[in-house]
């Protein structure tokens, strides 16, 4: 939960993005009451800051920006800085309204998990913190920036043994490039639209950060069977030639090379 909102499962678990993928929202940046108009560009955008109109080229579109520049240098939303004005959904996203839905936990938060490799290996219920820890990541940092964690399940079973001996082996690792600023983390945006007085359309833009879980399953199993064993043995024997060594004494033979 965040400071003034309780999140339920419909809000913090996004629908699967694939057959074995689910995303869990851990932090959001909310930009409320956006309308189409003109406003200062976000200071997050490269070269958006300015001192005069000469620093802003009218009609210029920054591919990392939020809209088309009008050619005016205007005061920013807060502080004494100025940025180039853009025609866009206003106010633009600047990350000032930041909310998390991960409650503060005690230091032993990651030490209690329903799943246990030894006592309860079939249980599919994991604490999110447990998965992040086993992947070697810091939970606080990952929840803030988002990321992609792979849950690798490996089944390697001998079917001659009892079913209790066929257990999954879990491993966890981070899949997104952690140290690449251009593609590290995981986030996406969505908007909620409203009508004011039945005419003006407004929206609330939400940038959601989350931990995406990709489930990857590998497996193999085998069982002893007499007939395939005999066939394989016969095939192997036919590949071995037994030749008589003319230089040997008596009737001793010598095993030839394998073809």
Residues 42, 162 share a domain: yes
Judgement on whether residues 36 and 142 belong to the same structural domain of the protein: yes
Where b means 16+ CB within 10 Å and e means fewer, 163-193 reads eeeeebeeebebebeeeeeeeebbbeeeeee
Give the pLDDT score at 8.
Answer: 52
Token representation of residue 174: 């981070």
Q: Find the range with the poorest average confidence among 47-51, 53-57, 124-128, 145-149.
A: 124-128
Whether 200 and 159 map to the same domain: the answer is yes
Verify that 123 and 191 share a domain, yes or no. yes
Distances (CA, A) of 180 to 9, 47, 183, 208: 31, 22, 6, 20
User: What total number of domains does the chain contain?
Assistant: 2
Instruction: Evaluate if residue 110 carries a pLDDT over 50.
Output: no
Q: Does any domain span residue 4?
A: no
Q: Are residues 51 and 146 in the same domain?
A: yes
pLDDT tops 80 at residue 186: yes
> Is 54 a domain residue?
yes
Instruction: Round to whole Å and give the CA distance between 227 and 231.
Output: 6
User: Which residues, including other chains, have CB under 8 Å from residue 259's CB and lie 6 or more apart?
Assistant: 239, 241
Q: Do 185 and 93 share a structural domain?
A: yes
Does the pLDDT value for residue 94 go beyond 60? yes
Reported as a pLDDT band with limits 50, 70 and 90, residue 16 is low
3-class state of residue 57 by DSSP: coil
Q: Check which CATH number belongs to the domain holding 23 and give it.
A: 2.60.490.10
**What pLDDT is attached to residue 259?**
42
Q: What is the pLDDT of residues 29-82, one digit of tens each?
A: 888 888 888 999 998 888 899 999 999 999 988 877 888 999 999 999 888 899
The answer to whether residues 108 and 18 belong to one domain is yes
- Residue 228 domain-assigned? no
If asked whether residues 238 and 144 sit together in one domain, one would say no
DSSP secondary structure letter of residue 229? H
Does residue 101 form part of some domain?
Answer: yes
Q: How many CB atoms within 10 Å of residue 158?
A: 12
- Provide the pLDDT for residue 100: 58
For position 71, what pLDDT does the model report? Answer: 94
Residue 34 lies in a domain: yes
State whether 140 and 32 are in the same domain: yes
Task: Determine the pLDDT at residue 208.
Answer: 85
Q: Answer yes or no: do 90 and 161 share one domain.
A: yes
Domain interval for residue 254 = 233-258
- Does position 6 have pLDDT exceeding 70, yes or no? no
Residue of 19 and 132 predicted with greater confidence: 132
Give the pLDDT confidence score for residue 98 in this predicted structure.
55
Segment 215-227 mean pLDDT: 85
46 located within any domain: yes
Q: Is residue 2 situated within a structural domain?
A: no
Checking if the pLDDT of 83 tops 90, the result is: yes
Please give the residue that has the higher pLDDT: either 122 or 240. 122
pLDDT > 70 fraction of the chain, expressed in percent and rounded: 74
The answer on 47 and 125 residing in a single domain is: yes
Q: Residue for token digits 């929202």?
A: 25
Same domain, 253 and 207: no
Whether residue 189 is contained in a domain is answered as yes
More confident residue, 151 or 94: 151
Residue 123 CA to residue 131 CA, distance in Å, equals 14
């Amino acid at each position: 939960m965040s400071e003034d909102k309780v999140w339920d499962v419909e809000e913090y678990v996004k629908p699967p993005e694939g057959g074995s993928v689910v995303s869990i929202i851990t932090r959001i940046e909310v930009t409320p009451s956006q309308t189409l108009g003109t406003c200062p560009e976000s200071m997050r955008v490269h070269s958006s800051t300015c001192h005069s109109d000469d620093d802003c080229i009218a009609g210029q579109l920054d591919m990392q920006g939020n809209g088309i520049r009008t050619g005016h240098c205007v005061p920013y939303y807060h502080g004494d800085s100025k940025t180039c004005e853009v025609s866009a959904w206003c106010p633009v996203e600047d990350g000032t309204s930041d909310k998390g839905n991960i409650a503060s936990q005690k230091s032993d938060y990651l030490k209690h998990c329903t799943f246990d490799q030894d006592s309860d290996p079939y249980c599919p219920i994991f604490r999110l913190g447990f998965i992040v820890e086993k992947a070697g990541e810091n939970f606080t940092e990952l929840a803030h920036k988002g990321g992609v964690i792979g849950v690798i399940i490996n089944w390697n079973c001998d079917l001659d043994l009892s079913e209790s001996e066929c257990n999954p082996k879990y491993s966890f690792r981070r899949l997104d490039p952690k140290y690449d600023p251009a593609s590290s983390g995981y986030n996406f945006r969505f908007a909620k639209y409203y009508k004011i007085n039945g005419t003006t359309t407004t929206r609330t833009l939400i940038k959601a950060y989350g931990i995406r879980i990709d489930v990857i399953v590998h497996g193999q199993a085998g069982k002893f069977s007499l007939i395939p064993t005999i066939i394989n043995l016969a095939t192997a024997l036919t590949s071995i030639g037994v030749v008589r060594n003319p230089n040997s004494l008596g009737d001793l033979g010598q095993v030839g090379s394998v073809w």
